[in-house]
Amino acid sequence: MPDPLRLSVLDQSVASAGRPQDESIRHTVALAEHCERLGYERFWLSEHHGLPAIVGTAPEVLMAAIAARTTRIRIGSAGVMLPHYSAFKVAEQFRVLEALAPGRIDLGVGRAPGTDQRTSRLLNPDAGAAEHFPQQVRELHAWVCGEDLPEGHAGRGIQAFPRGATTPQLWMLGSSGYGAQLAGHFGLPYSFAHFITDGEGCEEALALYRHLFRPGRIAQPQANACVWALAADTEEEAWRLFASRERARVDRQSGRLGALLPPHEALRPYNPAEEAFRQGLRSRALVGTGEQVVQKLRSLAGELQVDELVVITWTWDPLAQRRSYELLARAAGLQPP
């Protein structure tokens, strides 16, 4: 593994109990500025709808705000849930973002709805929209890169404006082999959502991507993994802060979704099934001091054969989240710009 380890950030604008939801959006923008100063590679934003726990619903809007407040860090969507939208409109949005931050825009796309079925229908009434995802990716790639579509296509001759000297970097996101296959087929960078599956299927998906890759948007395979991690000044403090995330994950198993609780309110008795899930979660968690977590991150990056990890961190207190990224940056040897 190279030294220093390349680290990036994924933020979801998580709602915190007792705090107005609009604060979560402003905290995300402030976190992006903070992470740029720390030397992180890129700052990605997720898209979710109708969830009381995650209020980051419009990554493209947040990206514009962050672009206006940063100068170096790459900014991206992780991702735009493409079946909800017109590929042409998404291309236009990201061409505008590219004009605001030339050479710094990542356009990550995914097929998953990022919401429940009812809310998904409100975004796009077509229940079969996800079936057209590969075609949408092909169209999006053409419009983002300024290439024409094939003869007979309804969009042939139509361009997405504004044009410029640079173009957004298209990424394929996934948590299964499906996205890996598409990324390999189209020759796109690929990011696996390790934090969604707790790592299950990650090595297999990355291997499939590398096996099927053929040159396209990029000449060689380029992959990373999005992982959940939390660091604090002491290991004891890190595990105390982890209680908020732990409670959210256990509750989610039974369909209970809500704002993130402060650590002292997150503790409750668990039934045997919940306790077994909790212990499994803790055994895999990347939690500890900055040095401890970075050591685990380096080991994981070596196992996955990637030179970049994208770190997502949930804490009830935004200051604890900022401190976690500070400690990881220091331990990994990131170089401030």
pLDDT tens by residue, 315-334: 999 999 999 999 999 999 99
* Average predicted confidence (pLDDT) for the chain: 95
Phi, psi of 162 (to 5 degrees): -80, 155
Name the one residue in this structure whose structure tokens are 């696996």.
192
Domain range list for the chain: 6-231+291-332
pLDDT > 70 fraction of the chain, expressed in percent and rounded = 99
Strands (E), the chain: 6-11, 42-45, 74-81, 105-110, 169-174, 190-192, 223-231, 286-288, 308-312
Interhelix angle 21-38/59-69, nearest 10 degrees: 50
Q: pTM of the predicted model, to two decimals?
A: 0.96
Interhelix angle 87-100/59-69, nearest 10 degrees: 10
| Whether pLDDT at 2 is above 80 | no
pLDDT of residue 1: 42
Q: Could you report the per-residue pLDDT of 84-117, keeping only the tens digit for each?
A: 999 999 999 999 999 999 999 999 999 998 889 9
* Assigned fold of 6-231+291-332: TIM Barrel (3.20.20)
pLDDT of residue 100: 97
| Whether pLDDT at 200 is above 60 | yes
